[in-house]
Structure 1
Amino acid sequence: MQIVQQLLFVIAFGIAVYLFAQQARQIRRNILLGQDEDLTDHPNLRWRNLLLLAFGQKKMFRNPLVAVLHFFVYAGFVIINLEILEIILDGILGTHRLFVPVLGSLYPVLIGLFEVLAALVLISCVIFLVRRNVLKLRRFMSHDLDGWPRSDANYILITEIVLMTLFLTMNAADQQMQARGAEHYIATGPFWISSHLSPMFNGLSDGAVTGIERACWWLHILGILAFLNYLPYSKHLHIILAFPNAYYAKLEPKGEMDNMPAIQHEVKLMLQPELATDSPASDVIPKFGAKDVMDLTWKNLLDAYSCTECGRCSAACPANMTGKLLSPRKIMMDTRDRVTEVGKNIKANGSFQEDGKTLLRDYISEEELRACTTCNACVQECPVSINPLDIILQLRRYLVMEESSAPAEWTGMFSNIENNMAPWKFGPEDRENWIQEMNS
């Protein structure tokens, strides 16, 4: 019987890891559909960002209470899952609490700490469920979360509650069997929480308690393996991608926008035509801005997959607050949906086959893009260093420079820049007239 359980565990574990690896490779391929961008400069600053923003969750602590609760969930997820290593080895080797002889008296202390974290995770997830579904905070009620995104958040919170409950129940049943001196259950010493829960099994037979312990063990590990394979389809993929996304975040000041060398070259020629003779001719016509996800950079696409859908960006967006159509969170969600669709297209056909859709207009409308004030509030607020503004600017560049599509208010300025080399409706020879007027 033990051999059968080991075999079943190895099969389940192998299938779960294989499926997750397949999805991880697909997501990596999707991200690399973006244009190349070198973000390897200043590694010291990048490691600092990773430690402060991803590990330390620095931006979350602007709201201390929520930050502490989120930190419990985050720390619980990372630290408690260290215990999974023992569960996996026990499942493969057919042992029970393999690390007890190795860690000795330290073992119940570690499990006790894990149990405290599990209880904190459980409590925090209940509070987060109440915030979303009872208090109904405004940023969680936005229409860009209608349907699957809102359900996804609830499913994850419920799953974490169930997993933590199974963990504590498993340990409580284990403690009960240790107290009864059952042969298979190694004496570990009391655990900090489950030892107080174990008396609830006093009236049950050994077989019933063992069945509960084994059922919780299997459901706990299978639940974690299922959660692992749910991540690629969920906003909670940020649990993994927040770390590289923080590392590769742009280091320039948030108000500094990227210029396109091709545009700079054209402006220089306009201002100084004599430079034209010194400039090498090029047969390559540059493409300005982005129309679809393949025109964005790989970092833009990594941003999209790293989005937590927390809505802090949209809550801080002045356009969104004043009722405009723009939601930076939706920009990221739409980008992720489009690149996922393109990835499926490539996987099915071997290469991308035109599907009559683009990120611009089919997913993100011109009205959304026009509403952006480029204030960088969304960039500042994102806890995992996502930059929705960069995507907005690239899509707007395409509209203006490739399609000559711009609000009427802008066309006069463009005309002045083209004719007068300045935004104002004055020729160069008239610009100093105000000096004469001041002296008169």
Structure 2
Amino acid sequence: MQYIPNIIFLLLLIAGVGYFTINIRKVIRNIKQGIPVDASDNKAERYGNVARIALGQSKMVKRPVSGILHFITYVGFIIINIEVLEIIIDGIFGTHRAFSGMGSVYGFLIACFEILAVLVFVSVVIFWLRRNIIKIKRFFKPEMKGWPKQDGNFILYFEMILMALFLIMNATDVPFQQMNNGNVISQHIAGFFSGTSESTLHIIERSAWWIHIIGILIFLNYLYFSKHLHILLAFPNVYFGRVTPKGQFKNNEAVTAEVKMMMDPNVDPFAAPPADAPAPAKFGASDVMDLTQIQLLNAYTCTECGRCTDECPANKTGKKLSPRKIMMDTRDRLQEVGKNLDANKGVFVPDNKQLLGDYISTEELWACTTCNACVEACPVSIDPLSIIMDMRQYLVMEQSAAPNELNVTMTNIENNGAPWPFNQQDRLNWAKE
């Protein structure tokens, strides 16, 4: 009978970690639906970006209030959960505070955990006030309705409860309080329980302990359904983020090969392609399978913080474009594709839907000024512009569906060698003045 709690704990741990593993494998499978990209270059710069942007939160603190609060929450939550290792050992082997034998080192760690727990709790409360009382505008854009709006609050409630349980667990742990080693915050909370019998304190402590660890397992599995998957994916996303200048657009290899062939004097541009020639590659992207794996990783990493949309000049002037919505739509479509794969044993069955049209409209795509403000603003190196440009390329090169203004410009370039409707002989007239 004495081992029943340990068995229950072990089963809960296996179920929680197992379900999380299954869902993470789905994420990886879905991302692999995209086009592979070779990102083996500039390794030193990539690792430097991970240290500076993902670990150091350098882009977060450009907005000091939210940046500092996020840094406290991020560091505190990660460090506090180091204690989960002790909880797991205690749960499996039936010990109590297995690391307490470390003496003053243990006391120092617990003291840090308790101080950080209070700081995290306060930070999360401020985040809640900003979202629900002050109502920061970027949290109330049209795409932030339904689940995205609720998700932001759910995660805040989760963090408040977990921090409170951690402190209550310590405050009602009589042997720990008697040690007087690291209980810098919980000793003050313990005063609220003065007069409570030791047996009742033990029940409260055990209840807080169980709810705390179960809450952590629920939180772990909640990540898959939440924007907070970025807690895990921010690091690989920053590593695979672009290291070329933001204003540099990639060349389409198929177009480059075509131009080179046309410029080769030994090749007849009017000759029919060989019978065994491969089918021409699709230009641009109309669905998530046409995007790269890095772009799909971007979609899963999106934090929905709205900094990109807040900086977007098109959005500021009332245009329909929201870079955040581009990423959310891409993720939603990718999730839909994933469910299709689940239902059909790993084989995608056409569903008469695609990212372009069913999720993202052409109006949104053509509203973009390609200024890169969204890319610069993103705290985890997401690139909405690359998706916009790939989908534009599909519209122009596959569907000949460019706006009239762009068609006129391209016609002028073809006929006059410049985007303006002037004869080539008149191009230098401006210099005569």
TM range (shorter): over 0.9
Correspondence 1:196-211 to 2 at 5 A = 196-211=188-203
Q: CA deviation at 1:423?
A: 3.0
Partner of 2:267: 276
Q: Which runs of 5+ in 1 are unaligned?
A: 182-186
The verdict on how the C-alpha distance between 1:437 and 1:369 changes in structure 2, with shifts beyond 3 A counting, is closer
- Distance in 2 (alpha carbons) for counterparts of 1:23 and 1:151: 21
- Distance in 2 (alpha carbons) for counterparts of 1:125 and 1:233: 20
- Distance in 1 (alpha carbons) for counterparts of 2:431 and 2:96: 91
The answer to whether the aligner puts 1:113 opposite 2:112 as a matched pair is yes
- Distance in 2 (alpha carbons) for counterparts of 1:395 and 1:133: 35
The verdict on how the C-alpha distance between 1:438 and 1:32 changes in structure 2, with shifts beyond 3 A counting, is closer
- Distance in 2 (alpha carbons) for counterparts of 1:166 and 1:111: 14
Partner of 1:90: 90
Q: CA deviation at 1:435?
A: 4.8
Question: For 2:424, which of 427, 431, 435 is the aligned residue?
Answer: 431
Partner of 1:135: 134
- Distance in 2 (alpha carbons) for counterparts of 1:75 and 1:389: 30
Q: CA deviation at 1:65?
A: 2.3
Q: Amino acid of the residue matched to residue 231 of structure 2? A: I
Structure 1 window deviating more from structure 2 (103-112 vs 164-173): it is 103-112
Query: Helix, strand or coil: the match of 1:255?
Result: coil
Partner of 2:340: 345
The verdict on how the C-alpha distance between 1:436 and 1:70 changes in structure 2, with shifts beyond 3 A counting, is closer
Correspondence 1:179-198 to 2 at 5 A = 187=179, 189-198=181-190
Partner of 2:292: 297
CA RMSD, 1 decimal: 1.9
Q: CA deviation at 1:123?
A: 0.2
Q: CA deviation at 1:44?
A: 0.3
Cα deviation, 1:248-291, whole Å, max 9, x if unaligned, reads 11101001111102222334556x46363599964321210001
The verdict on how the C-alpha distance between 1:9 and 1:238 changes in structure 2, with shifts beyond 3 A counting, is same
The verdict on how the C-alpha distance between 1:438 and 1:99 changes in structure 2, with shifts beyond 3 A counting, is closer
Partner of 2:33: 33
The verdict on how the C-alpha distance between 1:156 and 1:438 changes in structure 2, with shifts beyond 3 A counting, is closer
Q: Which runs of 5+ in 2 are unaligned?
A: none
Q: Amino acid of the residue matched to residue 308 of structure 1? A: T
Asked if the contact 1:40–1:248 (Cα under 8 Å) also holds between the matched residues in 2, the reply is no
The answer to whether the aligner puts 1:152 opposite 2:162 as a matched pair is no
- Distance in 2 (alpha carbons) for counterparts of 1:331 and 1:420: 36
- Distance in 1 (alpha carbons) for counterparts of 2:134 and 2:246: 33
Q: CA deviation at 1:434?
A: 4.6
- Distance in 2 (alpha carbons) for counterparts of 1:59 and 1:238: 15
- Distance in 1 (alpha carbons) for counterparts of 2:45 and 2:333: 32
Partner of 2:169: 170
The verdict on how the C-alpha distance between 1:409 and 1:221 changes in structure 2, with shifts beyond 3 A counting, is same
Cα deviation, 1:218-268, whole Å, max 9, x if unaligned, reads 000000000000001100000000000011111010011111022223345
Q: Normalising by the residue count of structure 2, what TM-score does the alignment of the two structures yield? A: 0.95
Partner of 2:77: 77
Partner of 1:368: 364
Query: Helix, strand or coil: the match of 1:124?
Result: helix
Q: Amino acid of the residue matched to residue 247 of structure 2? A: G
- Distance in 1 (alpha carbons) for counterparts of 2:54 and 2:94: 36
Asked if the contact 1:50–1:246 (Cα under 8 Å) also holds between the matched residues in 2, the reply is yes
Question: For 2:386, which of 381, 390, 404 is the aligned residue?
Answer: 390
Q: CA deviation at 1:437?
A: 8.2
- Distance in 1 (alpha carbons) for counterparts of 2:340 and 2:394: 24
Q: CA deviation at 1:178?
A: 4.7
Q: Amino acid of the residue matched to residue 209 of structure 1? A: L
Q: Normalising by the residue count of structure 1, what TM-score does the alignment of the two structures yield? A: 0.93
- Distance in 1 (alpha carbons) for counterparts of 2:190 and 2:220: 30
Query: Helix, strand or coil: the match of 2:134?
Result: coil
Query: Helix, strand or coil: the match of 1:41?
Result: coil
Structure 1 window deviating more from structure 2 (234-243 vs 276-285): it is 276-285
The verdict on how the C-alpha distance between 1:86 and 1:436 changes in structure 2, with shifts beyond 3 A counting, is closer
Cα deviation, 1:140-175, whole Å, max 9, x if unaligned, reads 11111100001001000011000000000000001x
Q: CA deviation at 1:207?
A: 1.3
The verdict on how the C-alpha distance between 1:287 and 1:420 changes in structure 2, with shifts beyond 3 A counting, is farther
The answer to whether the aligner puts 1:266 opposite 2:248 as a matched pair is no
> How many percent identity over aligned positions?
51
Asked if the contact 1:345–1:352 (Cα under 8 Å) also holds between the matched residues in 2, the reply is yes
- Distance in 1 (alpha carbons) for counterparts of 2:240 and 2:404: 37
Query: Helix, strand or coil: the match of 2:181?
Result: coil
Asked if the contact 1:100–1:188 (Cα under 8 Å) also holds between the matched residues in 2, the reply is no
Query: Helix, strand or coil: the match of 2:223?
Result: helix
Q: CA deviation at 1:416?
A: 2.9
Q: CA deviation at 1:97?
A: 0.3
- Distance in 1 (alpha carbons) for counterparts of 2:200 and 2:405: 76
